[in-house]
A and B are shown apart, each in its own frame.
Chain A
């Protein structure tokens, strides 16, 4: 084989190997219509009969994913979460950027809280917000107290904000995390 030919072949091979590494992340920006998605993940507590429930498979997709977290950050504003929770510091709703998790700190817990609503004011957003968007909001809520990897957390704020962006938020170690709800005996 002549030298230019060999060079061309090796270049082609190199390109083929390089392109094989390209695996575009699959994104579903529009989501399924609210009425057509299946039953919501409802992780009520840690105490179950039989085998422990495995984590929701969708957790993999949303947790620590920069795209979904930044989408969640926009949706947090667009769906007016800030009306009650402010920019995370809390107002008439509890703060989201501290280390207290009244209804659990896992992604599924937050998802369930948004979908089902909680006593004393948190409304249920079932059939109002599409599920994919709820997952994104839940992923963002975790980043507010630094629970997500810094590489994935939003690096800037879209509007004037006294609080630094989530990337610079120190991680608040969750305490009092209680997926079963506050003050329920025997469900710890």
Chain B
């Protein structure tokens, strides 16, 4: 009785875990896109077939282990001539087993091949191109457009219109990273000096989490990105708002914040379109207040979190390339007022 309580707890915990996996923002088993759906189907097929084979093997093993010995039928000494019929039956069973195994492996290989062909066939239907450059430890995202002044940059966030395949061009600046949004697609590596490409499509609205899937250094675990799938009209509106330069600060504190931003260390790395800040080392901050998270998914966006991040980035994300900039309390407050207004 005493042993059952922890077991029951374990089972409930396991089921709760399942629930999170089946309806998760970062789960390959909760597909929200065509490719992830095919991959998940394939995964369930593999799981079912292999579990059945495993169960069969275990059952046969148990039967063999606990079967009573047939005494008397096997005389001690010269047994071989009488064993011939058993031997033949055993050979037949083993041949059938080998044929079955080969057939299962070939069938699964065929399914795997078909799914592979299918998930790579979306490329020619892509209507939108997003260029992602992975850096230690954040994602630079550029929305390309044939008209140059209609492309813009953002960071750690991709928005997609529902049902539209998006071509994602993948580059890396420093080391190898891997782009993985489990709800939408499998992984694709980003390799320095090489341009990779993948296509993602979201079939329903929602917010998903992408994560770097190739160990890339100290803050690899805190290198995430938000993928937000929205209806087409909403996406177009978002795109127009992102294209606009930053709003000018209206109140006195924000104006002071802008002045501090443009004269302190901030301006050495960041861009705010519409001002003289145009450095391309750190993330573009033109519309930072519209983003869901800060520091590549390390913190959810809020004014307080932004304050903590600016005041001491090395405590929140040690090793990140943003140094302590030594703003005084007043300077920090005014910079916060300015940045929080950048909708």
Which A positions have Cβ atoms within 8 angstroms of B?
29-36, 74-75, 77-80, 127-130, 133, 159-160
Whether the pair B312, A30 counts as a contact (CB closer than 8 A) is yes
Whether the pair B269, A80 counts as a contact (CB closer than 8 A) is yes
- Per-residue A-contact encoding for B159-189, CB less than 8 Å = 1, 0 else: 0000000000000001100000000000000
Whether the pair B321, A33 counts as a contact (CB closer than 8 A) is no
Q: A34-B325, A129-B265 are in contact. List 6 more A-B contacts (CB 8 A).
A: A33-B326, A33-B327, A77-B321, A128-B265, A130-B324, A133-B323
Which residues of A are found within 8 Å of B263, using beta-carbon distances?
127-128
Once bound together, how far apart are the Cα atoms of A36 and B174, in whole Å?
Answer: 36
Once bound together, how far apart are the Cα atoms of A34 and B326, in whole Å?
Answer: 5
Once bound together, how far apart are the Cα atoms of A128 and B262, in whole Å?
Answer: 10
Grouping DSSP codes into helix (H, G, I), strand (E, B) and loop, the B interface class, with mixed when no group exceeds half, is loop
Whether the pair B268, A80 counts as a contact (CB closer than 8 A) is yes
B55 at the interface (CB under 8 A from A): no
5 pairs, A vs B, C-beta closer than 8 Å: A30-B312, A33-B327, A33-B328, A127-B263, A128-B264
Once bound together, how far apart are the Cα atoms of A33 and B311, in whole Å?
Answer: 10
Whether the pair B264, A127 counts as a contact (CB closer than 8 A) is yes
Whether the pair B328, A35 counts as a contact (CB closer than 8 A) is yes
Once bound together, how far apart are the Cα atoms of A133 and B327, in whole Å?
Answer: 13
* Nearest B residue to A35, CB-CB: B328
Once bound together, how far apart are the Cα atoms of A133 and B323, in whole Å?
Answer: 9
Whether the pair B324, A80 counts as a contact (CB closer than 8 A) is no
Once bound together, how far apart are the Cα atoms of A151 and B316, in whole Å?
Answer: 30
Tell me, rounded to whole Å, the shortest Cβ–Cβ distance linking A7 to chain B. 44
B42 at the interface (CB under 8 A from A): no
Once bound together, how far apart are the Cα atoms of A33 and B281, in whole Å?
Answer: 23
Once bound together, how far apart are the Cα atoms of A29 and B329, in whole Å?
Answer: 17
Whether the pair B268, A128 counts as a contact (CB closer than 8 A) is yes
Query: Given A30-B312, A32-B326, A33-B326, A79–B331 Cβ distance below 8 Å?
Result: no
Whether the pair B174, A78 counts as a contact (CB closer than 8 A) is no
Which residues of B are found within 8 Å of A33, using beta-carbon distances?
326-329, 331
Query: Given A30-B312, A36-B328, A75–B323 Cβ distance below 8 Å?
Result: yes
Q: Which of B127-174 contact A (CB under 8 A)?
A: 174
Query: Given A80-B268, A128-B268, A159–B324 Cβ distance below 8 Å?
Result: no
Which residues of A are found within 8 Å of B269, using beta-carbon distances?
80
Whether the pair B328, A34 counts as a contact (CB closer than 8 A) is yes
- Per-residue A-contact encoding for B274-306, CB less than 8 Å = 1, 0 else: 000001010000000000000000000000000
Once bound together, how far apart are the Cα atoms of A78 and B317, in whole Å?
Answer: 14
Q: Which 5 A-B pairs have the closest CB atoms?
A: A130-B326, A33-B328, A34-B326, A78-B323, A128-B265
Once bound together, how far apart are the Cα atoms of A74 and B279, in whole Å?
Answer: 19
Q: Which of B241-256 contact A (CB under 8 A)?
A: none
* Nearest B residue to A159, CB-CB: B174
Once bound together, how far apart are the Cα atoms of A9 and B321, in whole Å?
Answer: 51
Which residues of B are found within 8 Å of A79, using beta-carbon distances?
265, 268, 323
